[in-house]
Structure 1
């Protein structure tokens, strides 16, 4: 009896000292994250403006240069739409680089995949993402682009939390958006800063970029990733929606 009790006690002590198996992100439920305290813009188009008009303003060239995209990098284009940035990122990173283009609308993803195949872009992969989870491979990206789509993310804290492990050391998230209410297809910079900070991202640069329809902000992940139940949601007063103007482009 004493031997049995001693054996049971030893087993209990060993179990207490054995570290728990690491939790997989897939085990974390969506309801563990706080809700966003701001409107979410609907997806109204897979394009922001015509590619010709954007190239006349050298939009992609200015954004890629400012964000430090160079040959050999691996980048992600999230919410890629018709692929305006995807195609130009592929040329910038070159044959030794890689581009992962992603959209959550199957028809848009399929059209982009056809374009990539038609233009024989061997350094580009196209995949379908999920609204709250880009499902990016860990430690893979030097830059992750969110261009004119952040205001469409309905669960920003979950999305940013699940995206964060995909950055390589020194990797950056590049956000391009308009400085207006999310309900009017933009994101006020203060709101963006707050939501990014809540998940452990720190802004390293922000510049006004009228060629891209607003501003560019870049973030790096710093410190440990917070537990979902420790994320404090941002409650900021958004600017009033702007009056609609003729020909005002929305989205990608």
Structure 2
């Protein structure tokens, strides 16, 4: 990542639903269908960066971010369940990873350090956030100037065009709702992918991605 850009990307990758989404044994397959390498390139995470993985579960994304930021960087791994964080710590210990910091967040506050992040990732978790307005405010406050936020979600065919409430009830969400909410929260949209492929290769679940930047004050 170019230090001149002071990029902060919050990538919230949370896997909700089938247990297979959480387990380490499925990580390699997830690399393929989620096109994780492409996402990380777009996030432009580099050695020495400080990033956050909100909705980290067992550490799928946190582990990959750890290798990119190196020993001079930090990865804040946030989840609302301690059992998931315990599993993440075990996975990190097995790999001799020491730059992941686990945080037990609240449902309306990921408890990120203020003004210190280059990037935040939110993946398949945003639709679970009832207090998304408060959470986006916390994320914005945690980012450095020009810090970036990446959100990835899936939209199920059966609820396309439905209300936000109906989509959330189906554990899904449209890019249109999130784009509007990010702008209202003080972010500018940098890029979008409306069709990033199929979630878990299921034909009725289309992935999309938004990369946003914290507005300059």
1:173 & 1:110 partners in 2: Cα distance?
A: 26
> Is 1:144 matched with 2:120?
yes
Give the length in aligned residue pairs: 183
Matches of 1:84 and 1:77 in 2, distance apart?
Answer: 10
Q: Is the 8 A contact 1:72 1:95 kept in 2?
A: yes
Q: CA deviation at 1:135?
A: 1.1
86, 98, 103: which one pairs with 1:110?
86
Q: What does 1:114-125 align with in structure 2 at a 5 Å threshold? A: 114-125=90-101
Give the structure-2-normalised TM-score. Answer: 0.77
Distance 1:222 1:64 in 2: 22
Matching of residues 49-198 of structure 1 within 5 Å = 50-57=26-33, 59-180=35-156, 181-198=167-184
5+ residue gaps in structure 2?
Answer: 1-14, 157-166, 200-205
Distance 2:20 2:49 in 1: 25
CA distance in 1, matches of 2:170, 2:68: 32
**RMSD after superposition:** 2.1
Q: Secondary structure at the match of 2:144?
A: strand
Cα deviation, residue 56, structure 1? 3.4
Whole-Å separation in 2 of the counterparts to 1:58 and 1:178 = 11
Return the structure number with greater strand share: 2
Q: Is the 8 A contact 1:145 1:173 kept in 2?
A: yes
| Secondary structure of 1:220's aligned partner | strand
User: Which residue of structure 2 lines up, in the alignment, with residue 216 of structure 1?
Assistant: 209
1:203 to 189, 194, 199: 189
Cα distance, 1:97 vs structure 2: 1.6
| C-alpha distance in 2 between matches for 1:77 and 1:85 | 7
CA offset digits 1:172-202 (Å, max 9, x no partner): 0111111342222222011001111221112
Task: Return closer, same or farther for 1:43/1:56 CA change in 2, 3 Å cut-off.
Answer: closer
